[in-house]
Chain A
Amino acid sequence: MSAPHTEPVTAPESAGEAELAAYNFAYLDEQTKRMIRRAILKAIAIPGYQVPFASREMPMPYGWGTGGVQVTAAIIGPEDVLKVIDQGADDTTNAVSIRAFFQKVAAVRATTHTADATIIQTRHRIPEHTLKEGQVLVYQVPIPEPLRFLEPRETETRKMHALEEYGLMHVKLYEDIARHGRIATTYAYPVKVHGRYVMDPSPTPKFDNPKMHRSEALQLFGAGREKRIYAVPPHTDVVSLDFEDHPFEVQQFDRPCALCGATHVYLDEVVLDDRGGRMFVCSDTDYCETRQAEGHVGEMLATSEREAAE
């Protein structure tokens, strides 16, 4: 987060961008940014607590992560380097659009390298490369309320948070075990933050939950439609809920990445052909490409290299 820049962006690059160029730096006006920053500061002061904020219309639909976009817009400065990922990839439509948006309205540098970014906006994943002090991870959140599943009344869920009545979260996990023999929740797995508030890291896979625990980076969560911001400050305890006899576990993959050979990373299944061919590769594309560039070779690449040599 570098110092906020208050000059309006001038000199549109092309006629088509004239309308965006008429907006303030990072799209939002300064008053809105201040409002969002106040919400962020409050969220940092009360880790895991959902702070209401006056979510603004953004020039994209809600499903596109308007909450995350507003948080990023409120904290980004001209010196920042932005990375945007969706399902771990930098090149999906959603990620490309959001990155292009900030390049236009804030003229910031963009990167796909986790280590080079100062702000990483994400939907679904936490990068495999361990985040460091000074980095900010901004999550796009669709449903911020972890208690919503069993208690639809907002007045009641607020009271439950206020009074720390979290028995319901375990009811949900109990149901999982009763039905599947184990805790089958794999995404949006509830956590307790700083020993106090229960929080939904939605919609990241539970594989990433341990990365949130005492991370050096600042983690900010924005829910646009639901008008909530919450935060996990650096070095904060983030503990996944579980039972003594059914402890929290992350997904295990029984093979390494087919492209870079990485183990202990989150893998996506990729269908290769219509004859049932498939492979498992890193969901974090930057991580995978970096490893390949360093000379790591997974099974699939090794095979195709052998074939090329023959």
Chain B
Amino acid sequence: MSDMPLLKVRSLSKFYGNRIGCHDVGFDLWPGEVLAIVGESGSGKTTLLNCLSTRLMPSTGDVQYRMRDGDYRDLYRMSEAERRVLMRTDWGFVHQNPADGLRMTVSAGANVGERLMAVGNRHYGRIRATASEWLSRVEIETDRIDDQPRAFSGGMRQRLQIARNLVTSPRLVFMDEPTGGLDVSVQARLLDLVRGLVSDLGLSAIVVTHDLAVARLLSHRMMVMKGGHVIEHGLTDRVLDDPREPYTQLLVSSILQV
């Protein structure tokens, strides 16, 4: 890990009218680090993730991102054009519902190749070869390259969505409940895959989940949210093995009872 944070978040809040989405959140994310955001339904996880990934305009606060050239840029002072370039090259976003992150009516190969074409790749053979490589990397048979994701199972769709995001070698990936809609056995396989990719590629990731087992398996650090506030924040093993806040203790004990 480098000695400079990739993301610096300060006093970030989002209000929906009078309702708190998230309130006064601050943290640093380091290169190669996976941060889990956990909490019950409605606690503000998605709101926070969307404010970090510029999909939602925060009410106050700022988010600094360290660009490839080493300079920090305030995400909310960038032009929309720059932000969109960042989002499709240096970042990935994995949606809970793969249909939100895939083009369901174009082939798997084109889904993976789209970002390459967006950044100017104009050699069909090479785009296809890269797409094929990525399909096998996420354990999709390469002879499915011309099939549309409509013909894929939920787990395959999610793996395709991941390949589509990683093809441009992003440095930061946001994931909102990436295993949410999947069967338990399928979840386990996907988590293994994600864990392998994150460490192989040295990715930084911010993963929203209400499943503490997912946080345990994937993340180095975690933040526990309640009512829009971060109530506990620390190394994942520490938070799960020795929770300080009564609310976190409740969360942890309820999973241990399962």
Write the residues of chain A forming the contact surface with B, with a CB cutoff of 8 angstroms: 150, 159, 163, 165, 167-168, 170-171, 174-175, 177-179, 242-246
Contact = CB atoms under 8 A, between A and B. Distances in A.
Contact of A174 (B81, B84, B105, B127): B127
Nearest to A174: B110
Pairs A-B, 3 closest by C-beta atoms: A167-B118, A170-B117, A243-B124
Contact of A175 (B84, B110, B118): B110
22 contacts: A150-B103, A150-B106, A159-B80, A163-B81, A165-B84, A165-B118, A167-B114, A167-B117, A168-B114, A170-B117, A170-B122, A171-B103, A174-B113, A174-B117, A175-B110, A177-B124, A178-B145, A178-B146, A243-B122, A243-B123, A245-B123, A246-B124
A53 B68 CA distance: 43
Where chain A touches its partner, the secondary structure class is helix
B246 interface: no
Contacts of A246: 124
Contacts of A168: 114, 118
A171 B106 contact: yes
A167 B115 contact: yes
B122 A175 contact: no
Given A165-B84, A242-B122, 17 more contacts: A150-B103, A150-B105, A150-B106, A163-B80, A163-B84, A165-B118, A170-B117, A171-B103, A171-B106, A174-B109, A174-B113, A174-B128, A175-B106, A175-B107, A175-B110, A179-B146, A245-B123
B170 to A, nearest CB: 16
B132 to A, nearest CB: 11
Interface string B119-145: 100111101100000000000000001
B105 to A, nearest CB: 8
A171 B124 contact: no
Contacts of B84: 163, 165
B146 A171 contact: no
A83 B84 CA distance: 46
A178 B146 CA distance: 7
Contacts of B114: 167-168, 171
Given A167-B114, A171-B114, A178 B109 contact: yes
